[in-house]
């Protein structure tokens, strides 16, 4: 049964259920008048492990990019020992093309806070850090106001989780980042909260065992936590009714998902859809088609790290199988940037390479050096000074960096690898037109 | 190997008699920030945000004072300041124009905005005008790709930008800063 009503966007008018013009930030009174914090009431009447099992059964896969099952992540925590345990909410959202979490923070911050409260109760975590990227100035203010309201209404603080009804209390703090993409990587995020430079940590130990300030820590994406409430409220069967099964024998892609479409479409924006919706349907039905009726040329699958879909992959299903089926890294944040027929793909490759060069944290040599050299080579090709050998060199550098070849600590380099490699491979002709061929002299007949 | 070295041992840093960290600021942080974090080091980023906001840079003297307050080494403060883009050691202009240069904004025409501001203000990206009024930055994704091209004017995001809108915003910023800055 597909999604029949807005769930994550219940209070945020979104096509086809509402008009984005009518969006207003939902304060706590309006939130509670429309069923808000009722789910938290239900949750605290349950045993914490019941909630963890519920989320595990629902197979809620993380919405931040990797698609790791959230319930499973929660079970990695050791049993409570009476000392501080942390929940870190990842609202770094610095992946180019991605703007879905901003929608939730902008208009329905309490939906997130309810999810945070439920997750904290379920996992017995007593301190939550809401990590929001530095560039989200307005959103940080909205969130801080919502947190203050939640304290005043007995959700957080000394008399928190519904005015002490749960015998459990949670502190919730906002922590602003300061403009570093790498802090969206979960251990880089922990370093940033500790006040240090955002260098990702070597795992193991995993954050669930030894995370923030050396204590057990769960890190979840904003949208993941926003989905926890509806799962507790509506149940596992409903959740599994949305989305789709895997068609390649992998883990399923259940539930509704926020998808943010940008680029050359008539009506860009965030939409709530079933996972598995074909990209063509998303563009044609939700976004009013390609801008000015132009032809589809390609799209970034979901945040630039995922790589691009080629002109023949317009019908790609937006679910967690996309990586296996269409030679991209994965679904990522499910926020495609769409390109029309006039787009210069060499320029796109240069833009993405520049992004990764700027945002590499500099800790691992293959990423720090490789990202710089790839940018130089692509710029050389863009200027028309490259050779076919340069294209091979680009692919060689790309393939040598990241977690897949095992040369870096975190996945930033894999993003760089996939972004560049998929563009060069899927639009090879366009690159070859810009470079000079390399002739290898061959002598025939002579000895 | 040729290393580019700076004589840091003999380098002097600009100082002023009045401390950057007042007793009132320290008391507020001690009450509101320090208890949140398990280590004093944890409070560093919010403190740096406050200093950067007040002075449009993080002066070296302030770094030393913060290190003293947090009981960490000045090098650790410098480490964090130089890692994050929002903290600067050079003073920024009164109006910081941060134009998004990531993919959605590029395909929707960010370049003409950057070129326009460059020629209008006579500065390159990451430079400040001589009168200290404007700084131009090119930033990576600002998370508003559906309304590309976008730019931050100080802390306010402006969407669906055109050259006319940018002109208007620059003129408004110029009027607002007309009375001369503080500090």
Q: Given CB atoms, is A368 within the 8 Å cutoff of chain B?
A: no
Domain end position, chosen among B35, B61, B83: B83
Which residues 175-194 of chain A have a CB within 8 Å of chain B? 175-181, 192-194
Q: With a threshold of 0.90, tell me whether the complex ipTM lies above it.
A: yes
Size of the A and B interface in Cβ pairs below 8 Å: 147
- Give contacts of A92 with chain B, Cβ < 8 Å: none
User: For residue range A349-393, what is the model confidence (pLDDT) as tens digits?
Assistant: 999 999 999 999 999 999 999 999 999 999 999 999 999 999 999
- Give contacts of A270 with chain B, Cβ < 8 Å: 146
Element (H, E) at B64: helix B60-70
- Give contacts of B83 with chain A, Cβ < 8 Å: 180, 197-198, 361
Q: From CA B87, how far away is CA A168, in angstroms rounded? A: 38
Q: From CA A338, how far away is CA B41, in angstroms rounded? A: 43
Nearest CA in chain A to B33: A173
Based on the domain organization, do B141 and B103 belong to the same domain?
yes
Q: From CA A130, how far away is CA A140, in angstroms rounded? A: 10
Based on the domain organization, do B101 and B149 belong to the same domain?
yes
Based on the domain organization, do B100 and B171 belong to the same domain?
yes
CA B159 to chain centre: 21
Q: Can you give the pLDDT at residue A346?
A: 97
Would you say residue B101 lies in a domain? yes
The conformation of residue A213, written as its DSSP 8-state character, comes to: G
First to last CA, chain B: 43
Nearest to A26 by CA among A10, A2, A46, A7: A10
Q: Given CB atoms, is A415 within the 8 Å cutoff of chain B?
A: no
CA distances from A190 to A193, A215, A310 (A): 5, 11, 36
Would you say residue B7 lies in a domain? no
Please state the domain count of chain B: 2
Based on the domain organization, do B123 and B75 belong to the same domain?
no
Based on the domain organization, do B30 and B72 belong to the same domain?
yes
Q: Which domains does chain A have, with CATH numbers?
A: 20-241 (3.40.50.11540), 243-340 (3.10.20.600), 345-434 (1.20.1440.230)
pLDDT at B117 over 60: yes
Based on the domain organization, do B104 and B159 belong to the same domain?
yes
How, if at all, do strands B127-128 and B95-100 pair?
unpaired
Task: Identify any residues that bridge with B127 across adjacent strands, giving them in sequence order.
Answer: B136
Nearest to A268 by CA among B107, B114, B167: B107
- Give contacts of A176 with chain B, Cβ < 8 Å: 45-46, 49
Q: From CA B33, how far away is CA A125, in angstroms rounded? A: 20
Based on the domain organization, do B74 and B100 belong to the same domain?
no
Q: Rounded to the nearest 5°, which phi and psi values hold at A410?
A: -125, 180
* 3 state SS for A130-151: EEECCCCHHHHHHHHHHHHHHH
Would you say residue B76 lies in a domain? yes
Interchain proximity A337–B46, CB inside 8 Å:
no
Interchain proximity B41–A195, CB inside 8 Å:
yes
- Give contacts of A354 with chain B, Cβ < 8 Å: 101
Q: From CA A349, how far away is CA A375, in angstroms rounded? A: 9
Nearest CA in chain A to B81: A197
Based on the domain organization, do B100 and B169 belong to the same domain?
yes
B/e letters for A236-261, b = 16+ CB within 10 Å, e = fewer, are bebbbbbbbeeeeeeebbbbbbbbbb
Would you say residue B4 lies in a domain? no
Would you say residue B90 lies in a domain? no
Extract the tokens encoding A246.
Answer: 């895997």
Which CATH number goes with the domain that contains B39?
1.10.10
Interchain proximity A178–B156, CB inside 8 Å:
no
Based on the domain organization, do B100 and B69 belong to the same domain?
no
Would you say residue B17 lies in a domain? no
Q: From CA A183, how far away is CA B45, in angstroms rounded? A: 13
User: For residue range A78-94, what is the model confidence (pLDDT) as tens digits?
Assistant: 999 999 999 999 999 99
One-character DSSP codes across A11-33: TS--TTTS-GGG-----HHHHHH
Based on the domain organization, do B67 and B119 belong to the same domain?
no
Domain end position, chosen among B38, B53, B83: B83
Which of B44, B88, B107 is the best residue to mutate to test the A interface, defined by the most A CB atoms within 10 Å of its own CB?
B107
pLDDT in tens, chain A (447 residues): 578 899 999 999 999 999 999 999 999 999 999 999 999 999 999 999 999 999 999 999 999 988 999 999 999 999 999 999 999 999 999 999 999 999 999 999 999 999 999 999 999 999 999 999 999 999 999 999 999 999 999 999 988 888 888 889 999 999 999 999 999 999 999 999 999 999 999 999 999 999 999 999 999 999 999 999 999 999 999 999 999 999 998 999 999 999 999 999 999 999 999 999 999 999 999 999 999 999 999 999 889 999 999 999 999 999 999 999 999 999 999 999 999 999 999 999 999 999 999 999 999 999 999 999 999 999 999 999 999 999 999 999 999 999 989 999 999 999 999 999 999 999 999 999 999 998 888 888 766
Q: Which residues, in sequence order, are CB contacts of A301 under 8 Å at separation 6+?
A: A307, A308, A309, A316, A322, A326, A328, A329, A330, A331, A332, A336
Which residues 270-309 of chain A have a CB within 8 Å of chain B? 270, 300, 304
Torsion on CA atoms B42, A69, A281, A232, rounded to nearest 10: -90
Do residues A87 and A119 touch, judged by C-beta distance below 8 A? Answer: yes
Q: From CA A405, how far away is CA A335, in angstroms rounded? A: 26
Domain end position, chosen among B63, B83, B103: B83
Q: Three-class SS of residue A340?
A: strand
Which CATH number goes with the domain that contains B162?
3.40.30.10
Q: From CA A159, how far away is CA A63, in angstroms rounded? A: 31
Based on the domain organization, do B101 and B163 belong to the same domain?
yes
Torsion on CA atoms A354, A385, A369, B88, rounded to nearest 10: -40
Based on the domain organization, do B114 and B61 belong to the same domain?
no
Residue B67: give the domain boundaries. Answer: 23-83
Would you say residue B48 lies in a domain? yes
Element (H, E) at B135: strand B134-139
Shortest Cα–Cα distance, A274 to chain B (Å)? 20
**A134 vs B86, B103, B144: nearest CB:** B86
Would you say residue B10 lies in a domain? no
């Amino acid at each position: 049964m597909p999604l029949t009503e807005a769930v994550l966007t219940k209070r945020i008018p979104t096509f086809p259920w509402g008009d984005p013009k009518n969006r207003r930030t939902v304060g706590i009174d309006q939130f509670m008048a429309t069923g808000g914090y009722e789910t938290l009431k239900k949750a605290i009447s349950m045993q914490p492990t019941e909630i963890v099992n519920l989320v595990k059964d629902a197979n809620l896969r993380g919405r931040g990019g990797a698609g790791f099952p959230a319930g499973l992540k929660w079970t990695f925590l050791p049993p409570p020992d009476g000392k501080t345990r942390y929940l870190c909410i990842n609202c770094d959202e610095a992946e180019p093309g991605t703007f879905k979490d901003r929608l939730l923070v902008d208009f329905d911050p309490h939906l997130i806070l309810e999810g945070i409260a439920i997750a904290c109760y379920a996992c017995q975590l007593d301190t939550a850090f809401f990590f929001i990227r530095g560039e989200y100035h307005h959103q940080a203010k909205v969130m801080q106001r919502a947190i203050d309201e939640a304290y005043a209404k007995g959700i957080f603080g000394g008399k928190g989780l519904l005015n002490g009804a749960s015998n459990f209390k949670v502190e919730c703090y906002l922590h602003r980042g300061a403009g570093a993409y790498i802090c969206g990587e979960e251990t880089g995020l922990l370093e940033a909260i500790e006040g240090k430079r955002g260098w990702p940590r070597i795992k193991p130990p995993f954050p669930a065992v030894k995370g923030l300030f050396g204590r057990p820590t769960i890190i979840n994406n904003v949208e993941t936590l926003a989905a926890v409430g509806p799962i507790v409220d509506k149940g596992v069967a409903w959740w599994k009714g949305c989305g789709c099964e895997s068609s390649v024998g992998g883990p399923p892609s259940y539930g509704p998902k926020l998808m943010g479409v940008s680029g050359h479409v008539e009506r860009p924006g965030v939409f709530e859809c079933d996972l598995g919706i074909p990209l063509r349907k998303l563009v044609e039905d939700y976004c009013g088609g390609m801008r000015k009726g132009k032809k589809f040329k390609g799209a970034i699958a979901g945040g630039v790290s995922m790589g691009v879909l080629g002109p023949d992959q317009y019908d790609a299903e937006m679910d967690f199988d996309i990586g296996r089926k269409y030679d991209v890294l994965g679904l990522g944040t499910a926020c495609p940037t769409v390109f029309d027929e006039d787009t210069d793909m060499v320029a796109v490759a240069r833009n993405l390479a520049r992004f990764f060069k700027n945002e590499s944290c500099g800790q691992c040599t293959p990423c720090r050096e490789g990202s710089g050299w790839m940018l130089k080579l692509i710029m050389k090709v863009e200027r028309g000074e490259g050779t076919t050998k340069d294209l091979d060199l680009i692919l060689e550098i790309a393939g040598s960096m990241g977690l897949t070849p095992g040369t870096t600590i975190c996945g930033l380099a894999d993003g760089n690898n996939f972004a560049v490699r998929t563009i060069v491979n899927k639009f090879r002709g366009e690159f070859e037109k810009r470079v000079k061929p390399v002739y290898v002299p061959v002598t025939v007949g002579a000895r | 190997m040729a290393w580019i070295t700076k004589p840091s041992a003999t380098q002097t840093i600009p100082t002023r008699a009045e401390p950057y960290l007042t007793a009132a600021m320290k008391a507020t942080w001690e009450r509101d920030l320090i208890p949140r974090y398990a280590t004093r080091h944890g409070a560093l980023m919010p403190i740096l945000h406050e200093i950067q906001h007040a002075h449009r840079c993080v002066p070296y003297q302030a770094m030393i004072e913060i290190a003293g307050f947090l009981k960490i080494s000045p090098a650790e403060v410098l480490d964090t300041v130089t890692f994050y883009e929002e903290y600067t050691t050079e003073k920024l202009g009164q109006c910081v124009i941060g134009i998004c240069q990531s993919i959605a904004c590029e395909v929707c025409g960010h370049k003409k905005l950057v070129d326009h501001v460059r020629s209008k203000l006579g500065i390159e990206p990451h430079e400040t005008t001589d009168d200290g009024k404007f700084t131009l930055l090119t930033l990576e994704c600002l998370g508003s790709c559906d309304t590309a091209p976008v730019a931050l004017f100080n802390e306010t995001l402006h969407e669906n930008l055109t050259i006319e809108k940018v002109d208007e915003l620059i003129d408004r910023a110029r009027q607002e800063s007309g009375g001369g800055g503080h500090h």
